[in-house]
Amino acid sequence: MHKSPHPYPFLEVQNVCDDLVREIVRGYKPGIDLRVSDDSPPNMIVGARVAMGSNVRSGIPTVHIYLREWVMAFYGMCNQDELLFETTFVLAFLHELTHLALGLVPQHDVPLDPEEMYVSEEIVCAKTCEIMELFVGAGRQLLPTDQAFHDAWIKCGRNKDTVSWKDFVGKRYSKNKS
């Protein structure tokens, strides 16, 4: 195991994870189901690769981790940079836990209406940007896509209700990207 050149915000990340899991258990008594698969993910967002997702299956909150996509992410987007991969994976996992904790997920095999998905992502991406600040504060690099979200979050004054935030997220999740 190599030592990180930047301090890792383990305690802070664990606290966020613990808080999210408590909210999930409060909302869905059975707990959380983690599904790890080597299948290709369903096409949830046109033009995007999905490496993790969440939904509710038979009343049980579920996080899906698509290994094939994460292997491609390690060699592709992360360019075999272990620290960047680690940060990216943890942020994606906490993003999906946030969806579940806030109840902003589809039921199994019932996709969200596009407008519901946009509103869901406006809220969850804002929470994810708050979490990103733990990593940024520790000197961790973000993927360019995550950095773009974080930059937009800062630019809109860390306010999910601004037009600029809604526009940014809407364009990122739109089927008709401009």
Strand 33-37, strand 60-66: pairing: parallel
Determine, yes or no, domain membership for 124: yes
Query: Is 1 inside a domain boundary?
Result: no
Residues 50, 99 contacting (CB under 8 angstroms)? no
Q: Residue 16: which of 130, 140, 125 has the closest Cα?
A: 130
Q: Contact at 8 Å (CB) between 38 and 68?
A: yes
- Would you say residue 123 lies in a domain? yes
The count of residues in the chain is: 178
pLDDT at position 176, please?
43
As for how many domains the chain has, the answer is 1
Strands (E), the chain: 33-37, 52-57, 60-66
Q: Which residues of 84-117 are buried (b: 16+ CB within 10 A; e: fewer)?
A: bbebbbbbbbbbbbbbbbbebbbeeeeebeeeeb
Q: Would you say residue 5 lies in a domain?
A: no
Domain that holds residue 126: 10-173
The pTM is what? 0.86
pLDDT reported for residue 42: 63
- Residue 178 domain flag: no
Asked if residue 43 lies in contact with residue 89, where contact means CB atoms within 8 angstroms, the answer is no
Per-residue pLDDT in tens (0 to 9) along the chain, 178 residues: 445 555 778 889 999 999 999 999 998 877 889 889 887 666 554 445 678 888 888 888 989 898 888 888 888 888 888 889 999 999 999 999 999 999 998 777 676 788 888 899 999 999 999 999 999 999 999 999 999 999 999 999 999 999 999 999 999 887 444 4
Residue 34 located in a structural domain? yes
- Strands (E) in 28-162, as ranges, are 33-37, 52-57, 60-66
* Side chain identity at residue 3, one-letter code: K
